[in-house]
Amino acid sequence: MTRIDIALGERSYPVLVGHGLMNEPSAWNRWLPDTPLVVFSNEKVAPLYLDALARVLPDHELHPLVLPDGEAEKSFDNFRRAVDFLAERGIRRDACLLALGGGVIGDLCGFVAATWMRGIRFVQFPTTLLAQVDASVGGKTAINIPQGKNLVGAFHQPSLVVADTATLDTLDPREYRAGLAEIVKCGAIRDADFLDGIEARCEALLARDVECVVDVVGRSVAHKAAVVAEDEHETGVRATLNFGHTFGHAIEALSGYTRFLHGEAVAIGMVTATRLSELRGLCPTGVADRLSATLQRLGLPVSIPDDMTADDLMSLMSLDKKNTASSRRLVLLRDAGQAVIHADSRPEQVREAIEASRTPTE
DSSP 330: E
Catalytic-labelled residue, pool 19, 44, 140, 321: 140
In the annotation, is 297 catalytic? no
In the annotation, is 245 catalytic? yes
Q: Are 251 and 269 in contact (CB under 8 A)?
A: yes
In the annotation, is 3 catalytic? no
DSSP codes joined into one string, 139-186: -EEEEEETTEEEEEEEE---S-EEEEGGGGGGS-HHHHHHHHHHHHHH
In the annotation, is 342 catalytic? no
Catalytic-labelled residue, pool 121, 175, 242, 322: 242
Q: Are 329 and 343 in contact (CB under 8 A)?
A: yes
Catalytic-labelled residue, pool 249, 321, 322, 329: 249
Catalytic-labelled residue, pool 182, 252, 264, 278: 182
In the annotation, is 224 catalytic? yes
Catalytic-labelled residue, pool 10, 88, 118, 362: 118
In the annotation, is 334 catalytic? no
In the annotation, is 23 catalytic? no
Catalytic-labelled residue, pool 245, 280, 322, 329: 245
358 strand-pairing partners: 304
In the annotation, is 44 catalytic? no
Catalytic-labelled residue, pool 74, 190, 219, 238: 238
In the annotation, is 182 catalytic? yes
Catalytic-labelled residue, pool 175, 234, 252, 264: 234
Any long-range contacts for 296-301 (C-beta under 8 Å, 24+ apart)? 297/199, 297/202, 298/177, 298/180, 298/181, 298/184, 298/202, 298/205, 298/206, 299/173, 299/177, 299/180, 299/206, 300/177, 300/178, 300/180, 300/181, 300/263, 300/264, 300/267, 301/260, 301/264, 301/267, 301/268
Catalytic-labelled residue, pool 156, 224, 275, 322: 224
In the annotation, is 185 catalytic? no
DSSP codes joined into one string, 84-147: HHHHHTT--TT-EEEEEESHHHHHHHHHHHHHGGG--EEEEEE-SHHIIIIITSS-EEEEEETT
Enumerate the active-site residues: 118, 140, 182, 224, 234, 238, 242, 245, 249, 262
